[in-house]
Chain A
Amino acid sequence: MKRHDKYDSWVIDAVARVRESRSAMLGLAIIVLLVLLAIFAPQLSPNDPTDVCLGDRLISPFTESKYPLGTDHLGRCVLSRLLYGARISLAVGITVVGISTVIGVTLGVVSGYYGGISDSVIMRFVDATLSLPSIFLAVVIAGMLGRGLASVMIALVAIEWTSYARVARGSVLSLREKEFVESARSLGVRDSYIMARHILPNIIAPVIVVATIGMAYVVLAAAALSFLGFGAQPPTPEWGAMLNAGRVYMRTAPYLTIFPGLAIMLLVLAFNLLGDGLRDILDPKRVVIE
């Protein structure tokens, strides 16, 4: 494997290595494709995703050119709903992972850097969250906050931030004792500056891995919560909610459950592939053969 000359260009290095990992590239390709489909959903959709047309109820897929993937029980275009659904799943995933990363990394870095009481308190909280099956907690929080996507996002952030806090804290604990941190400290550099400028850049790699796999988890969990009726409410074209609504027509119109499920699986699979690939690539234990 070729190492790049510039020492600080680990980003370039990482990109080069991603290109060598087949599964990571496949995952990345699917993600790019789905993001593009989500962005251009209004242009690509043959119909309005919430347009009810009772005259066109339950049309089978691949039979009418107006509805390539058929229609649901209210005569809404399945393909259009799937395309708009990609927007919702991606938006929920990015929002939850983004907020969780900010909260988790901040608390994790502070916790690891200072140690002491703040560390104990934060980590106890993390342990407590981890000592519960997460979906149970999410369901209870989302159920209690009331139905809707916002509740689901809050519930998922409440669970997700702990993994970022753990990873960040773990990395900081080993970095704290490194010479460059010690020398910065002996020069009288402020703690906040050390954390932001010296420590943060060094924990980005493990956080990216956790965030990518976190995307897969959040997309799946959000769909599950919507499926259970706690998340997106009708007529929102959310994949999990579509599955739930289509369930009733499973005998006569199985495609209403098959398509949204495949969509969820594809998106989750893509993030899992990319995440697994990145973990292997960014693993510090990995031996680089010149």
Chain B
Amino acid sequence: MLQLIPALLLVSVVSFSIIYFAPGDPAETLCTGPDGNANPKSVEEFRIKMGLDKPFHTQYLIWLNNVLHGDFGYSYQSNTPVFDHIKQAFGATFKLSVVSLIISLAISIPLGIISAIKQNSPVDVACMVGASLGVSMPNFWLGLMLMLLFGVYLGWLPVAGYGDGGDLEHILLPAITLGTGSAAITARLMRSSMLEALGQDYIQTARAKGVSERIVIGKHALKNALIPVVTMVGLNFGYLLNGSIVVETIFGWPGIGRLTIDSINMRDYMMVQGCIVFVAILFVVINLLVDISYRYIDPRIRYETA
């Protein structure tokens, strides 16, 4: 677990350097008036105010110290704390991810189980072809197609936007877009893991002693087959976070993905750093939680207490 700390530190140095060495001067960009000229005096003042005149390592250490105290700095753009923006955006992303995850699991687990039980049947083939297409489909394209179908032609759902705090109407299309890719991956995993479970001796034993097929599958096989799928839920979360960049941009969802893109476009370095480090921490924490949850899901796994 402790080995995650160097990884996080490295991530912070890398993300800080990328942004530090990036072309373009935020001070000049932001102090440029409507006439296209920047006043050198105000540029210099801004630089000193934001600490941009200090050397690299000093800037990094100041920033790291602040981050460790929960202070991600101030947005160059709006002059408000970066963390406030991130908190708000994370709420939107979290909502979207949870709904996508529910959609994804609701599609993939039943399909995976059916495919495994009816292996090599037309249903199985159809599911696996669908999964291959789902994995290969660009989510930005799927999003636009759903938008076109349900938003433009059928007019059932709003095309984009956050609505009233991200209501169900507005969340459905982005959530389906985001959930499809992970559903495809999970369905495949569910199928192979179910097939493996069904091939075990204890299944044969259960069948031999006359346990009904429904219980054999629903209880004996499913419980064991779900273990890798639960691991996947953690990885899925990363997948969803990745997808959120594109999906949030298309659907105008005010989440962390869109915040990142907007900040890059605005050269709001503080915000970009904040976003990337926040996402990294989030990712690491989720992986950690998944690791810990194994213990409860699969009692055979016990960690050595060193």
Q: Tell me, in angstroms, the Cα distance from A243 to B148 when the chains sit together.
A: 13
Partner of A127, one of B3, B246, B257: B3
Q: Tell me, in angstroms, the Cα distance from A220 to B144 when the chains sit together.
A: 16
B7:A272 contact, CB within 8 angstroms? no
**Distance in Å from the Cβ of B192 to the closest Cβ of chain A?**
11
**Distance in Å from the Cβ of B16 to the closest Cβ of chain A?**
11
- Quick one: given A144-B22, A250-B147, are A132 and B138 in contact (CB under 8 Å)? no
- Quick one: given A135-B245, A140-B272, are A216 and B145 in contact (CB under 8 Å)? no
- Judge whether A139 is part of the interface by a CB distance below 8 angstroms: yes
Within 8 Å CB of B152, what residues of A?
250-251
- Quick one: given A135-B245, A227-B140, A265-B133, are A257 and B18 in contact (CB under 8 Å)? no
- Quick one: given A140-B260, A228-B249, A272-B135, are A131 and B141 in contact (CB under 8 Å)? no
Within 8 Å CB of B138, what residues of A?
220, 223-224, 227, 240, 243, 261, 264-265, 268
- Judge whether A47 is part of the interface by a CB distance below 8 angstroms: no
B132:A136 contact, CB within 8 angstroms? no
CB under 8 Å from chain A, chain B span 85-126: none
When each residue 1-35 of chain B gets 1 if its CB lies under 8 Å from chain A and 0 otherwise, what string results?
00110111011001100110111000000000000
CB under 8 Å from chain B, chain A span 131-172: 131-137, 139-141, 143-146
A144:B283 contact, CB within 8 angstroms? no
- Judge whether B224 is part of the interface by a CB distance below 8 angstroms: no
A interface bracket (residues with beta carbon within 8 Å of B): 35 or more
- Quick one: given A140-B276, A269-B133, are A131 and B145 in contact (CB under 8 Å)? no
A261:B144 contact, CB within 8 angstroms? yes
A133:B148 contact, CB within 8 angstroms? no
Partner of B6, one of A23, A124, A143, A272: A124
Q: Tell me, in angstroms, the Cα distance from A149 to B23 when the chains sit together.
A: 16
A257:B141 contact, CB within 8 angstroms? yes
Q: Tell me, in angstroms, the Cα distance from A132 to B11 when the chains sit together.
A: 8
- Judge whether B82 is part of the interface by a CB distance below 8 angstroms: no
CB under 8 Å from chain B, chain A span 202-244: 216, 220, 223-224, 227-228, 240, 243
A136:B260 contact, CB within 8 angstroms? yes
Query: Contact residues of A with B, CB < 8 Å?
Result: 23, 124-125, 127-128, 131-137, 139-141, 143-146, 216, 220, 223-224, 227-228, 240, 243, 247, 250-251, 254, 257-258, 260-261, 264-265, 268-269, 272-273, 276
A–B pairs, 7, beta carbons within 8 Å: A128-B7, A143-B261, A144-B23, A216-B136, A227-B140, A243-B140, A250-B144
Query: Contact residues of B with A, CB < 8 Å?
Result: 3-4, 6-8, 10-11, 14-15, 18-19, 21-23, 132-133, 135-141, 144-145, 147-148, 152, 238-239, 241-243, 245-246, 249, 257, 260-261, 264-265, 272, 275-276, 279-280, 283-284, 287
